[in-house]
Chain A
């Protein structure tokens, strides 16, 4: 229990759902940090101000990322959280663990930290909450011994993450886990030694369903895709219709490309107008499948609203074959970093940088040819500029 009464926090234990207050209370008798965490949070609720300072100089030797310093400004009142640093641990691709690995992680954290975890943070890392400065190095040493490493934080490559891909999903157009692993291994330097203007996130989704929401959260979104025709099993289409699926209403009318026709017997798709939204495939998974010629679409520039507003990624490479060791993608990423590091402002995400310098200039700088598929919205192309005089002349 907390050392001080926590009537406001207690309200958050009511109702049918799991409560973070309940979880912290379970640990409060075992670790002073958890008891004081409840106390300082109750005080923040009463005073309506936060008592935390984040960032600073703390870290483990040689690394610039992976530890986020946190101190409270009331160390006399709440000594247990005078230091309450966060450690970010690089998760396995697609968050696959053995129960033994999780027990190992928990044992290490109970020994060196508060025992509170956040599985997982927004970028995907295993988050260890609450550690004193002097415990950081011993904790890191034990994590390394167990085969784990710290993830990214600060102005570096953040821990690459991916969906479960071919391990569990029939729609995966490439090996997201293999790609994520390769990026993590190849860019170790960029992951641990912050050298960018700001953070850079890579997220790999196996298909356009984009279960990791890479298009909204990653600076570089790698989304599985196909470039031939959707595979149709006519017999299964008939079975769906017989089973009561209203194909006209639930599939045809919901197609954003309006490229599906259904005459009551035969389903046809005009693939050149397909937006690859996956809706029809999701509704009739036995009847429709992504094409056979599979790879990925690379998109660049999304971010959540921290410094400025949210951005979605824009298409950078409409289609690329995904083959190990992904040299083309590594070269492209390095070219993007080169330009962004040279001219990017402090705390300017690559998407904001592109908005500032213009996509045309950015493409020229990274040596990529503009392509009509680089669209801001379907069927719009912001990178083709017409000479007004030429248009007027042609009208005449």
Chain B
């Protein structure tokens, strides 16, 4: 049995996925969970993925956005924001 992945490790991987997709595809929390489970295999479960997403949001590295549905993105200045 492989050693379980830590929440921080999963969060870092998720962050890279979000960074790679930024500007091309918006990722939902479900997309990140499915990708993480594919990458880490039986080293993670949904609970760890959920904690990893929480970690990403609470560290300020990512934010929730809403564009028709809810997504996770790296904080950025949105085009429509009126300064």
Contacts and interface: CB of A to CB of B under 8 A. Distances in A.
Interface size class of A (residues with CB under 8 A): 20 to 34
B70 A154 contact: yes
B64 A154 contact: yes
B65 A57 contact: yes
B52 to A, nearest CB: 12
Of B60, B69, B82, most buried by chain A (CB within 10 Å of CB) is: B82
Given A83-B82, A133-B81, A193-B29, A346 B53 contact: no
Contacts of B4: none
B29 A195 contact: yes
B53 to A, nearest CB: 7
Interface of A is mostly: loop
Given A57-B76, A71-B82, A72-B82, A194 B68 contact: no
A82 B83 CA distance: 8
Contacts of A197: 28, 30, 69
Contacts, number: 79
A189 B57 CA distance: 13
A59 B70 CA distance: 12
Interface string B17-58: 000000000001110010000000000000000100110011
A58 to B, nearest CB: 8
B64 A68 contact: no
Interface residues on B, range: 20 to 34
Contact of B66 (A73, A82, A153): A153
A69 B57 contact: no
A133 B83 CA distance: 10
A57 B26 CA distance: 12
Interface string A327-358: 00000000000000100001100000000000
Given A56-B78, A155-B69, A197-B30, 15 more contacts: A56-B65, A59-B64, A64-B64, A65-B64, A65-B70, A68-B66, A69-B78, A154-B69, A155-B70, A193-B53, A194-B66, A195-B29, A195-B33, A196-B30, A197-B28
Interface of B: 28-30, 33, 50, 53-54, 57-58, 60, 63-70, 73, 75-76, 78, 80-82
Interface of A: 53, 55-59, 61-65, 68-69, 71-73, 75, 82-83, 133, 153-156, 189, 193-198, 341, 346-347
18 contacts: A55-B65, A56-B65, A56-B78, A57-B76, A65-B70, A71-B82, A83-B81, A153-B66, A155-B28, A155-B70, A193-B54, A193-B64, A194-B70, A195-B29, A195-B30, A195-B50, A197-B28, A341-B30
